Amino acid sequence: MGRFLLRRLVHHLVLVFVATTLAYVVASIALDPRSRYEGRNPAPPPAAVDAQLSAYGVNDKDPLIERYAHWMGGVLRGDFGTTVTGGSINDELWSRALVSLRLLVIGSVVGAVIGVLVGVVSAVKQHSFTDRLFTAVSFVFIATPVFFTAVLLKLGALQVNEAAGETVLYYTGYETPGLEAGFWDTVKDQVAHLILPTLSIALGLIAVFSRYQRNAMLDVMNSDFVRTAQAKGLTRRHALYKHGLRTALIPMASLLAFSLGTLVVGATFTEKIFGWHGMGEWVVDSITRDDINVTATVALFTAVFVLFSTLISDVLHAVLDPRVRVTA
């Protein structure tokens, strides 16, 4: 299993490098930081604009290879360059990354776990009212984009807050600014701020996972080895949950890897709508502001996150499916 994971790690590292390079190249070609200096009155001298852009490493008159090598060299040393306003990217990077990671990790875990549970219940009680209800709701949530769900949740939170007379559900920011409290109170405050954004991401994930889990579980329920286990004398429940569930979970590991891309995009919408200062909000702002370095940095972060999560899902796959460990 070690060799299997090592091979996958190398494979993913190459992909991270390729993805970041492509993102940098595309951003350099399509974004135009020079336009930030146009239309100013009095117009700054071209030489000064060029010098400024070169200092930031985004001068379109410098050869692309040079700019890329300069930026990549910096990255390998841990320096991600400067934004178009001259600030250092490193300063903001870690705080924003932590904010985003909080949302992504908790959202994906909650979404996956509850999705699996819903799928199992749906399959075991196939064609019952519960199953039909879950299926219909899943379809609706798969069809709803994250930004719509997020704003609807905000609307709902407003009603709840008004009905309760006090702020029960927070819908702005990831913590109350200026809160001076002990450790547990801070944790409680942050959890309270997490509820709505996590729900926004998790609901879509739950819908997708429950559909696939239901199908996988139904396949398992019809399979021969479950029937054999029951013939041996196990109760249906014992046979299903001890033997069947593990087999039904195997496709979920692959699904987790596939759903990461949508998860990150969904987190971007959620951050923007709930006012979380994370990587998603940063990249949207930076594309609007023609900031090449930040865009490439966030692409790198996304690729690394996808790498780690794919590795975790590979590990899960190996844990659940012994055939992977043997053949690798």
**One character per residue 72-111, x = contact with other proteins (rule: CB under 8 A):** ----------------------------------------
Interface of this chain with other proteins, residues 254 to 313, rule: CB under 8 A: 261, 264-265, 268-269, 272-273, 283-284, 287-288, 295, 298-299, 302-303
Which of 27/99 has CB closer to other proteins?
27
What's the CA gap between 137 and 128, in Å, rounded? 14
- Comparing CA positions, the residue from 90, 95, 114, 146 lying closest to residue 271 is 146
- 3-state class (DSSP) for residue 70: helix
CB of 5 to other proteins, least distance (A): 19
Interface of this chain with other proteins, residues 223 to 262, rule: CB under 8 A: 261
Which of 284/328 has CB closer to other proteins?
284
CB of 187 to other proteins, least distance (A): 29
Q: Which of 6, 142, 179, 187 binds other proteins (CB under 8 A)?
A: 142
If one asks whether residue 145 binds other proteins (CB under 8 A), the answer comes out as: yes
Which of 139/308 has CB closer to other proteins?
139
- 104 residue type, one letter: L
- DSSP code for 33: G
Half-sphere exposure of 247 (CA within 13 A, CB side): 18
Residue 219 near residue 119 (C-beta atoms within 8 A): no
Residues with Cβ < 8 Å from 141, sequence gap 6 or more? 149, 203, 204, 206, 207
Residue 303 near residue 19 (C-beta atoms within 8 A): yes
Which of 176/215 has CB closer to other proteins?
215
Which token pair is 288? 């609007």
If one asks whether residue 151 binds other proteins (CB under 8 A), the answer comes out as: yes
Which of 44/145 has CB closer to other proteins?
145
Residue 298 near residue 26 (C-beta atoms within 8 A): no
Strand partners, 82: 88
Which token pair is 37? 């200096």
Query: Which residues of the chain form contacts with other proteins (CB under 8 A)?
Result: 15, 18-19, 22-23, 26-27, 29-32, 123, 126, 139-140, 142-148, 151-152, 154-155, 158, 215, 218-219, 221-222, 261, 264-265, 268-269, 272-273, 283-284, 287-288, 295, 298-299, 302-303
